[in-house]
Amino acid sequence: MNGMKKAIEQKPFLFFLIFTFAISWITGFPTVFVPGKFEGLSYLSSFGPALGALIVVCIVEGSDGIKRLIRSLFQWRVKFIWYLVVFLGPALTMVTAVTLHYVFTGIGLAQSFTEWMSAFPQHLLMIVSVFIFMMVGIWGEEVGWRGFALPKLQEKYHPLLASLILGAIWAIWHLPLFFIEGSQQAEQGMTFFFLATLGYSILYSWIYNGSGENLFMIWLLHSMNNATVSYTMLFFKPLIAEPVFSLAVLGLFDVLVILLTKSTLLYRGESKGIIYGS
């Protein structure tokens, strides 16, 4: 036991990955092989990153570390600008992508603008409902990804590189979902999802760092982003079939953030490794 504890203390990030993928894939893959079964077990897979982080933190830091990690989920006091970014950013991304798609292809919304506006209250209710549903499970990801993994990576690598590494891990972690018919991942395809996850990872790091390493903001952002994507898949399927437009908009926002923050993504600490050259 002492040997395992020492190994985890020496390689906390590695063991976080081992625990995370083991928990998530063991609970996520059964429903792939037996469709319609084990759905409750599959839902538990979304909590793999949080459980992986909590196991490592418990062993390395004890109860104080657990309290710190959980407490970070509820630090709601932050500058109002970050709430605007979190709630309006995903919608702005999708609206810009839909507009760009229309300009280049001539294909608009499934409904006319008048029909869409008349149904707006129902649409808004749907988005809010999906957002609340996402909130229930998304924290199980973000306690691990941004609560544990990103700070560890940023201690070692430049924030931009750390974000790309985490984005790749984050995308691969979703692998079981690509084999479940009707899931966002199955609809979007592996290439699009992988590139989009890298792009989102950069923006999430920027918001996490800029808001004072506020995990609550990321919990809201991830939930809002998933709700917006679900809405877009329902009412504007061509954007999913031709993802180049949404990827272009996401890439543009990434470039703007990288340039405006001089690639630091507003990280306030000191990275020891690659790109900083120290």
Predicted confidence (pLDDT) per residue in 80-127, tens digit: 999 999 999 999 999 899 889 888 887 766 555 666 667 777 878 888
70: in domain: no
Signed CA dihedral, 86, 84, 206, 75: sign only? negative
101: in domain: yes
pLDDT band at 274 (very low <50, low <70, confident <90, very high): very low
Which pLDDT score, from 0 to 100, does residue 114 have?
A: 67
4: in domain: no
Contact partners, residue 156, CB within 8 Å, separation at least 6: 162, 271, 272, 273
58: in domain: no
pLDDT at 18 over 90: yes
Total tally of structural domains belonging to the chain: 1
Of 189, 206, 220, nearest to 260 (Cα)? 206
Which pLDDT score, from 0 to 100, does residue 278 have?
A: 31
Structure tokens at 45: 């897979």
pLDDT band at 43 (very low <50, low <70, confident <90, very high): confident
138: in domain: yes
252: in domain: yes
151: in domain: yes
Which pLDDT score, from 0 to 100, does residue 277 have?
A: 34
Mean of all residue pLDDT scores within the chain: 88
6: in domain: no
Which residue range is the domain that position 238 belongs to?
75-260
Which pLDDT score, from 0 to 100, does residue 242 have?
A: 81
Tens of pLDDT, residues 115-131: 666 777 787 888 889 99
Q: What is the CA radius of gyration of the chain?
A: 19
Q: Specify the DSSP class assigned to residue 265.
A: T
